[in-house]
Amino acid sequence: MQDFAAQTVVSVTGLSKRFGERLVVDNISFDLQRGQCVGFLGPNGAGKTTCINMLLGLVEKSAGEIRIFDLETPRFHREIKARIGVVPQADSLDPDLSVEENLHTYAGYFRIPRRLARERVEELLHFFALHNRREEIIEHLSGGQRRRLLLARALINEPELLILDEPTIGLDPQARHLIWERLAILQAKGTTMLLTSHYLDEVSRLSQRVLILDHGHVVVQGEPRQLITDLVGLEVFEVDGTPAELDALEASFKQCNARLERVGDKLYVYAREDCSRLAKVMGEAANWVRRPANLEDLFIQLTGRSLREA
Amino acid sequence: MNGFSFWTIWLRNGRVWKKHILATLIGNLGQPLLFLLAMGYGLGRDMAAVEGLTYLQFIAPGLVASAVMYSAALETTYGSYTRLTVQKTYEAILMTPLGVLDLVLGEIVWGASKGLLAGVIMLLTLPLFGVVPSPWVIALLPVLFISGMFFAAFGLIMTALAKNYDFFNYFTSLVITPLFLFSGIFFPVETMAQPVKGILAMLPLTPIVSLARILCYGRFGEPVLLKIIGSLLITGGAVWLAGYLLRRRLIQ
């Protein structure tokens, strides 16, 4: 039992949040095990950020229990936050201060002794390739450098749990890859992570578990590959064509164990078995691709195609 | 254990301030110094003595108190509101072990420190105008700090309520400017008829202005203790209210 507790970093039970009449988070439960990276997914407005803010004690919960490091939050928010690192979605760096000063100021909030702080700042500047920019004022940094500095800042207290809210939003592929590489190193060192992102390739790459949230509920949680196979299928055919062509193809695909979806001039075939024999039929259609089913298919299947902010 | 954590926020603000030192000092001291010059030197030359002081001597201590008020209140309105909204500094701070109470104390003590600094610089310039304070002026410093705490807390209350920067126009036009004009800096409140005298005596800057005048010249004619206790009480109340309102705004 004690071992179990030591392995469970975050334990959320029956958590709800009501803003006036609106129930934003509705009775959700999940665990986060030590060393795991959990992808926390959902369309905009699904309740992800509210959940994270409740973990940090920045939003008061309406019901339920949150335990982090086996301590109850918000009661022990100081003790808990001393062991957490957060990369917020919005840039909250101090624009008037230099790269180095930003890190030292943050170290001060954690009351890290000066000498130790200097060592860690040095390490982090190198780890995130910012050492040549230490004197630079934040305003002069590129988007990628700012995100790296936000990550470095989140690691100043050597956190056991890292909360990443859209860590690579708006970055170019080079910058994203550098951040993924660094996060993989941290994972290998055993840092537990909670990751929210709309880039589902990023989530597949980094997470061992995903949890999909919609309208304040947990729609599904589990190991991503398993969920994709169980709920979406093995592979996906995407076919473009005229309505008549697609109608004909739909009929022939009925022979195979697959789920069909029509979106405009496109037919999606989510195959639950090997449908290779149908590729011949498809050859006649104007344009098609065949690819493995992925997390994005799962996400769309579970949360729908309609825009949430329309 | 964490009683002094707010100090780290003070240090953060100090770090930023060091980069804009000149602009903030000129911004905060310009007005009281110009008033001292125009009213005290310009207008005051032809005026009769007030309470046994030349007009310049009469208004100088009050202008010191007003410099504290302006500096502290501006810091926790425009400055704090920028940290709350544009820069998201508070959000970043609340993701560390610090809580809203640390934030509120850090901001208020910081505002009061800036206020005290403005007051001290004003005091140091007085000899240039021929106003030489008595040794009692040392006792004025904690009074100015308390007043700085009050106006910093008052500013932070406005910040917690503000929806945009324009909101602070109400604060300066309807609160700060009237206090500047009617707290006994430019005319003696004592000689006014009731009920005006009673109303003006209740304004938060009035006891500070008269304490400044008493301690600046070491002329103890009026009771001092009541003014100090009253100032401490309203300061405590304002700090509490600022904490309550900012918490309501930050923790949903």
B32 within 8 A of B70, measured Cβ to Cβ: yes
Do A78 and B8 lie within an 8 Å CB cutoff? no
Q: Is residue B85 in some structural domain?
A: yes
Prediction pTM value: 0.89
ipTM for the complex shown: 0.87
> Helix %, strand %, coil % for chain A, to 5?
40, 30, 30
Q: Which domain holds residue B30?
A: 6-250
Residue B141 lies in a domain: yes
A52 to chain B: closest CA residue: B95
Q: What pLDDT is stored for residue B239 in this prediction?
A: 97
* B251 contact residues in A (CB cutoff 8 A): 57-60
How many structural domains is chain B composed of?
1
Q: Does residue B1 lie within any of the structural domains?
A: no
Q: Report residue B18 as tokens.
A: 């060091």
The answer to whether residue B210 sits within a structural domain is yes
| B2, B8, B88 member nearest A78 (Cβ) | B2
Please name each of the domains of chain A with its CATH number. Answer: 2-223 (3.40.50.300), 234-292 (3.30.70.260)
Residue spans of alpha helices (H) in B95-136? 100-125
**B151 in a structural domain:** yes
Nearest CA in chain B to A20: B252
- pLDDT above 70 (res B40): yes
Q: Looking at residue A276, what is its pLDDT? A: 77
Rounded-to-integer distance, Cα A193 and Cα A183, Å: 9
Q: Residue B46 — very low, low, confident or very high, per pLDDT cuts 50/70/90? A: confident
Q: Which of B96, B98, B105 should be substituted to probe chain A, the one whose Cβ sees the most A Cβ atoms within 10 Å?
A: B96
Residue B186 lies in a domain: yes
Structural domain contains residue B59:
yes
Per-residue model confidence (pLDDT) at position A16:
94
A114 within 8 A of A78, measured Cβ to Cβ? no
Residue type at position A304? G
Q: What is the mean pLDDT of residues B33-53?
A: 83
**CA gyration radius, chain B:** 18
> Which pLDDT belongs to residue A2?
47
d(CA B55, CA B232): 29
User: Distance (Å) from the C-alpha of residue B3 to the closest C-alpha of chain A?
Assistant: 12
* Per-residue pLDDT reduced to its tens digit, A108-136: 999 999 999 999 999 999 999 999 999 99
Give yes or no for a contact between B155 and B73, defined as CB atoms under 8 angstroms apart.
yes
DSSP A231-261: II-SEEEEEE--HHHHHHHHHHHTTSSEEEE
Among A86, A108, A111, the residue with its CB nearest the CB of B95 is A86
Tens-digit pLDDT profile for chain A (310 aa)? 445 555 899 999 999 999 988 999 999 999 999 999 999 998 888 888 999 999 999 999 999 999 999 999 888 999 999 999 999 988 999 998 999 999 999 999 999 999 999 999 999 999 999 999 999 999 899 988 999 999 999 999 999 999 999 888 888 888 889 889 989 999 999 999 999 988 888 898 899 999 999 988 899 999 988 888 888 888 888 888 888 778 877 887 777 888 888 888 888 888 888 877 777 777 766 688 888 888 888 888 888 887 776 5
| Any A CB within 8 A of B12 CB | yes
Q: Is it the case that residue B208 has pLDDT exceeding 50? A: yes
Query: Which positions ≥6 away from A95 have C-beta within 8 Å?
Result: A137, A138, A139, B87
Residue-wise pLDDT tens digits, B133-190? 899 999 999 999 999 999 999 999 999 999 999 999 999 999 999 999 999 999 998 8
Task: Tell me which chain B residue has its CA closest to the CA of residue A55.
Answer: B95
Size of interface A-B (CB pairs under 8 A): 76
